[in-house]
Chains A and B, each alone.
Chain A
Amino acid sequence: MTVLSVRNLNIAIPTGDGHVHAARDVSFSVEAEELFGIAGESGSGKSVLSQAIMGLLPGALISGEILFEDRDLLKLSPREMQQLRGNRIAMISQDPLSSLHPFYTIGQQIIEAIRTHRQTSHEAALAEAIDILGRVGIHDADKRVNDYPHQFSGGMRQRVMIAMAIVLRPALLIADEPTTALDVTVQAQIISLLNNMRREFGTAIIMVTHDLELLSSVADHAMVMYAGNRMELGPGNAVLRTPSHPYTMGLLQSSPTHESRGPLPSIPGQPPSLLIEQKACAFAPRCPSVMDICRTQRPPLRRFDDNTQSLCWLENKAVRAPAIAAAAEESAAASKSSDIVVSVSDVRLAYGARSLFSKGGGVEVLKGVSLELPRGTTLGIVGESGCGKSTLARIIAGLLPPTSGDVEIEGKSIIDLDRQSWVEMRKRIQMVFQDPFGSLNPRRRVGAIIGDPFRIQKVAHGDDRKNRVRDLMELVGLNPEHYNRFPSEFSGGQRQRIGIARALALNPSIIIFDEPVSALDVSIQAQILNLIAKLQRDLGLSYLFISHDLAVVRHVSKEIIVMQGGQVVERGETEALYHRPQHSYTRELLAAADPNYRKGGGATAASISEALTP
C-alpha cells in the first residue's frame, strides 16, 4: 500500500535575493512499512522537502502533488494539516539536544503530543507515555518521565524524540538526519530502534541523511538529491552500491570508509546556486563524465535493469572514476624531523573536588593520560562520547588547567605560564570545535566572524584583512561572495566550515581537531580531510585529531590512541592497530564502524549497548 506519493513537486522559497528553487520536479512514493532514504549534499533540499511534506514551510511557493493516504496535502486547510501533523505524520530532527523543550519534562512533552490529538485523561496519557518510553529503551521509564531533557544523554534524547513521534502510531515518520549528532555506537542503536519500530507499528519511514554507508544497509529505496533535483531513485542496494548517476558515484567514492588511504577522491567544486533557473544538468560543472549536451539541455530520465532511474545524459550506468593520482608521497615533513611538539605526561583531571560547596571527592575525568605528538604528523584520538577526549583537548590547548601532570608545547611547559607567553602559546595552538554552530554569533556577518582572529591579534587591516578572509573562505570551500551573509543563511554543512576557516586564520603550528567533520556530508568531509592533509604537507603542521569515527581517524592519522573512561587503553601505528587490535574495546569500536555490522541489525547493537552500559 502506498502511504505517500509525491508527484512533480516544485518548491520555491522567496528570499531577499530571489526565489530559492529547493525542489524541482521531484517525484517518489513510499510504501507502508518501508524505509525510504533521501541522500545528498548539504543544501541539496532534503530538509526543505521534508518540511514541505509536514506543511511547515509557510510562504513557500509549492506546486505539484503530495498525496498522503489519498489526500493531497497541498490542498488541505491549515487546520486539517495541523490535525495530521504529529498524528498521522510525525517528524524527528537532526539534533536531539535542541529539539526537546528545555523547560518541560519529557513526560509533559509526550503527554502533550497524545492529548493534542486524542481525548484521553492525563493519567491514561501518562501511562501511555511510560509504556512507549519503555519500548524505545528508556530504563525506569516510570521515574524518568519526570526528568527534564538536560538530564538525558544525546542518544537517550533521540530515543525520547522517537517515542514522542511514534506514540500515536503515525503512518509516516520523517527522520531528518536522526543520527548525525550522535556517537557511532549510539547511531547504530538508534537505527536499529527505528528499524524495529517500523516493523512493530507498520510505520513507513523517510530517512534523510548524508551517511550513504548507513543508508545502504537499511534503506529499501533511496533517492539522491542534488540542487533540488532528484538525480537518482531506486532500490537502496542498487543505488548505494552500484549507482547509475555520476553524482551518486562521486558521493560514494568520497566516503572515508573506503579501503584507501591517501587523498580521497572528493567531488571538485561547489553545488550551484539555487537562485537561477536551470536549463541544463545541474551537476555538469562538477561531473567527471560531462558532455557538451549536458551543458545545454536538461538531461532525460534513464531507467536501468536494476530498477534505478537516473537523471543523466549517459546511456549506461556511471563508472568508477579513476582514483585521483595518488599524491601519496608520504609527507616529507613527517619523516625528516622527529622532534616532539606536544608532550603530555600523566595528566589527571578531577571535577568537583575543588568546588566550594560540594562535599566529598569529585569525578575523575582523566586518569593519567600521556601522549607525544611528533612534528608534522597526526595523532588520532578515538573513543566514545564522555571518555574525556574533548577535555584532554582543552587541557592541551591551555584552556583548562589539569589537576596534576604536565603538558609541554614545543618543549615549554604550559602549566603556570605568565600571561604574555600564554597568549603567544594560544597563537601556536588552535582548535576546531565539535560544535561550531554554538560558537557562531548569529548577529554578525560571516566575514567579520572569520576575521576575528585578525582583529584580536591586530594583524591585517581594511582591504588586506578582507582579502585574507576571502582566501580563507575559498580555502574551506565557501563562496567568498557570501562574505556579508549571516550564519543563519548557511545550511548546516556550510556553517561547519566557517569555524574551520576561523581556526586556520593565524597559521598556527598545532591544530586540535575535535570532531571536525562529524556533521559534514561525505563529499564535503572528503574535501575538508584533503584540505587538512594538504595544509599539513605544505606548512608542516602537527595535528591532534579527535573523533568517534574510526574510519575518519584512520584516514588522517599516522598513530592512534584509543581512550575509554579517561584512560588510554591502546595505542599504536594506525594500520597495525586497525588490523591487529589488542584491546577488546578497540575491537568493539572497529565492529561498530564496520558497515557489515549495521546490516547485522539489532543483535549486534544490543550486545554493544550491553557492553557499554556500566
Chain B
Amino acid sequence: MISFIASRIGFAALVLLLLSGFVFTLFFVAPGDPARMVAGERATEIQVAMVRENLGLDRPVIEQYVSFLGRSLSGDLGYSYRNQQPVIELIKNRMPATISLCVGAVIMWLCMGIPIGIMSARHPGSLRDRVGQGFVLIGVSFPSFVLGMAALYFLYFMPRQAGFTLFPPGGYRPFLDNPGVWAWHMALPWFTLALTSAAIYARLTRGQLLEVLGEDYIRTARAKGLSERKVIYKHGVRSIFSPLTTQLGADIAALLGGALVTEQVFGLQGIGSLAVQSVQTQDRPVIIGVVMLAGFFIVIANLIVDFLYIVLDPRVRG
C-alpha cells in the first residue's frame, strides 16, 4: 500500500522531469534567436552578444538545463523576454481566472452529466431517456467556441438589444471582491466549457449504469426489498464512481485546451491567453513556465485520481 503510493509519487516526479527536458529541448531547437528578441530589432551585434551572455544563452545546453531545473525547484521560472517581469508573477496574476474557470466547469459538467445519465439509465427507451440522449447528441456535436459564440449572442447580445443585461459579455472579477459578481461573470464561460463534457459524462454514466443495473448484486438488492431509489443510488451509482473517476483524470489533462479557447472568447485574462500571447511573441521562459505549470497540475490531478481509486474500490486495496 505504502509502496504503491510511493511508486505513484515517484512516477509523477519522473513524468515532470521528462516533461521539463522535452519542453526545454523543444524550445532550444526552435528557430529564432531569443537574444535578439530581448535586445530589440535595432540593437547592434555587440548589444545582442551582451544580452546573450547575461541570459546565459552562450553556455552549453546541459548547463543551461541544469541551472533551469535548479531555479525552477526554488520557484524561480526566470524572466519574460518581452517585459522582463518574473514568469512566476505573470502566472500568479493569471491563475485565479483559469482556476475559477476550470474548477467551476468541472463541477458544472459533473452536476449536469451524471444526473442526466442516471435519468436515462433508469428508464431506457422512455421519453426521458430520449430527451437525455438528445442532450448528449447536441452536446457532443458543437465545438465549444461555437457554443461560446451562441451563448454570447443569445444571452448577452440579444437581451442587450432588448434593453437589459442578462449576462456580462466577459471579463474576470475576483472572487474575493464579490462572489456573486464573480459567479455571474463566470456563468457563461463555465457553461461553454462544460457542455460538451456534460454530454460525454451523461453518455458514460448511462452506459456504465445500465451495465451495473444488470449485475447480480443489483438483483440481490432488489430481492432484499430495498426501495428502487436505494437500489439505484446506493447500489447502482456507487459502482460507477470508479470508471467516472478514471475518465475525470483523463479529462482534466485535456481541460486546459478547452479553457484556452473559452478564455479567448470571453476575454478572460487567464493562463490560456498568457500562453497564446507568449507563443506569438516567442517568449520562451513564459512558454516553458506555462507548460511546466500545466504539466504539474495534470500530474497532481492524476495522482489524486489514483488515490481516489484506492479509496473507492476495496478490491484495489487488497
The answer to the question of A112 belonging to the interface, with a C-beta cut-off of 8 Å to chain B, is yes
Within 8 A of B (CB), among A83-104: 83-87, 90-91, 93, 95, 98-104
Interface of B is mostly: helix
Query: Which of B211, B214, B314, B315 has most A Cβ within 10 Å?
Result: B314
Decide yes or no: A103 and B238 within 8 Å by CB, A56-B222, A56-B223, A93-B220 being known contacts. Answer: yes
The answer to the question of B175 belonging to the interface, with a C-beta cut-off of 8 Å to chain A, is no
Task: Give Cα A56 to B223, complex, Å.
Answer: 8
Are A357 and B4 interface neighbours, CB within 8 A? yes
The residue in chain A whose Cβ has the minimal distance to the Cβ of B226 is: A116
The residue that B313 contacts in the complex, of A54, A103, A113, with Cβ under 8 A, is: A103
The residue in chain B whose Cβ has the minimal distance to the Cβ of A79 is: B227
Are A116 and B225 interface neighbours, CB within 8 A? yes
Task: Give Cα A90 to B223, complex, Å.
Answer: 7
Decide yes or no: A54 and B216 within 8 Å by CB, A103-B313, A103-B314, A148-B314 being known contacts. Answer: no
Decide yes or no: A86 and B225 within 8 Å by CB, A103-B312, A148-B315 being known contacts. Answer: yes
The residue in chain A whose Cβ has the minimal distance to the Cβ of B217 is: A101
Task: Give Cα A161 to B220, complex, Å.
Answer: 9
Distance of A140 from chain B, by nearest CB (Å): 19
Decide yes or no: A83 and B7 within 8 Å by CB, A103-B313, A150-B315 being known contacts. Answer: no
Decide yes or no: A99 and B4 within 8 Å by CB, A84-B225, A116-B226, A148-B315 being known contacts. Answer: no
Residues 202-237 of chain B, each 1 if its beta carbon lies under 8 Å from chain A, else 0: 000000000100111101111111110000000100
The answer to the question of B239 belonging to the interface, with a C-beta cut-off of 8 Å to chain A, is yes
Residues 48-92 of chain A, each 1 if its beta carbon lies under 8 Å from chain B, else 0: 000000101000000000000000000000000011111100110
Are A102 and B220 interface neighbours, CB within 8 A? no
The residue that B220 contacts in the complex, of A82, A99, A442, with Cβ under 8 A, is: A99
The answer to the question of A117 belonging to the interface, with a C-beta cut-off of 8 Å to chain B, is yes
Are B225 and A93 interface neighbours, CB within 8 A? no
The residue in chain A whose Cβ has the minimal distance to the Cβ of B234 is: A112
Decide yes or no: A83 and B225 within 8 Å by CB, A99-B217, A102-B315, A103-B312 being known contacts. Answer: yes
Are B235 and A101 interface neighbours, CB within 8 A? yes
Count B-side interface residues using an 8 Å CB cutoff.
Answer: 24
Task: Give Cα A102 to B212, complex, Å.
Answer: 12
The answer to the question of B280 belonging to the interface, with a C-beta cut-off of 8 Å to chain A, is no
The answer to the question of A164 belonging to the interface, with a C-beta cut-off of 8 Å to chain B, is yes
Task: Give Cα A85 to B217, complex, Å.
Answer: 15
Are A113 and B224 interface neighbours, CB within 8 A? yes
In the complex, chain A residues whose CB is within 8 Å of the CB of B211: 442
Residues 251-270 of chain B, each 1 if its beta carbon lies under 8 Å from chain A, else 0: 00000000000000000000
Within 8 A of B (CB), among A246-280: none
Distance of B312 from chain A, by nearest CB (Å): 7
The answer to the question of B3 belonging to the interface, with a C-beta cut-off of 8 Å to chain A, is yes
The residue that B227 contacts in the complex, of A82, A91, A93, with Cβ under 8 A, is: A82
Task: Give Cα A98 to B226, complex, Å.
Answer: 18
The residue in chain A whose Cβ has the minimal distance to the Cβ of B6 is: A357
In the complex, chain A residues whose CB is within 8 Å of the CB of B227: 82
The residue that B223 contacts in the complex, of A54, A83, A488, with Cβ under 8 A, is: A54
Distance of A126 from chain B, by nearest CB (Å): 17
Within 8 A of B (CB), among A547-581: none
Task: Give Cα A104 to B221, complex, Å.
Answer: 12
In the complex, chain A residues whose CB is within 8 Å of the CB of B219: 56, 93, 99
Are B4 and A86 interface neighbours, CB within 8 A? no
Decide yes or no: A85 and B223 within 8 Å by CB, A98-B216, A99-B216, A150-B314 being known contacts. Answer: yes
Task: Give Cα A54 to B214, complex, Å.
Answer: 17
Query: Which of B224, B312, B313 has most A Cβ within 10 Å?
Result: B224
Interface residues of B (CB under 8 A from A): 3-4, 7, 211, 214-217, 219-227, 235, 238-239, 312-315
Interface residues of A (CB under 8 A from B): 54, 56, 82-87, 90-91, 93, 95, 98-104, 112-113, 116-117, 148, 150, 161, 164, 357, 442, 488
Show 15 A/B contacts (Cβ-Cβ < 8 Å), sorted by A: A82-B226, A82-B227, A85-B224, A93-B220, A98-B217, A100-B217, A101-B220, A101-B239, A102-B217, A102-B313, A102-B315, A112-B224, A150-B315, A357-B7, A488-B214
Give 7 closest A-B pairs by Cβ, nearest first.
A86-B225, A86-B224, A85-B225, A357-B3, A98-B216, A91-B223, A148-B314
